Amino acid sequence: MLFPCVWSKSFLILAPMIKKEQDPMGQAMYHYFHYKDTTSIKVNTNITEGEELPVSHLFRKYSEMPFLEKEALRLVKGKVLDVGAGSGTHSLYLQDNGFDVTSLDVSELSCVLMKEQGLKNVICKDIWTFEAEVYDTIMFMMNGIGLVKNLEGLQIFLEYIKNFLSPTGQILLDSSDIKYMFYDDDGGLSIDMNSAYYGELEYQLTYKHYNSAPFPWLFVDFDRLSNIAIKSGWNIELIYEDDHFHYLAKLILK
Percent of the chain having pLDDT more than 90?
Answer: 82
pLDDT of residue 72 exceeding 50: yes
Structural domains of the chain, with CATH: 20-253 (3.40.50.150)
At residue 180, what is the residue type? Y
Residue of higher predicted confidence among 18 and 79: 79
pLDDT of residue 5 exceeding 60: no
pLDDT at position 2: 55
pLDDT at position 119: 98
pLDDT at position 4: 53
How far is 3 from 14, CA to CA, in rounded Å? 23
106-119 pLDDT, tens digit per residue, is: 999 999 999 999 99
Please answer whether residues 140 and 84 qualify as being in contact, where contact means their C-beta atoms are separated by less than 8 angstroms.
yes
How far is 181 from 184, CA to CA, in rounded Å? 8
192-218 pLDDT, tens digit per residue, is: 777 899 999 999 999 999 999 999 999
Please answer whether residues 224 and 152 qualify as being in contact, where contact means their C-beta atoms are separated by less than 8 angstroms.
no
pLDDT band at 183, cuts 50/70/90? confident
How far is 226 from 158, CA to CA, in rounded Å? 11
Q: Is 130 helix (H, G, I), strand (E, B) or coil?
A: coil
> Cβ contacts of residue 36 below 8 Å, gap of 6+?
none
pLDDT at position 16: 57
pTM above 0.75, yes or no: yes
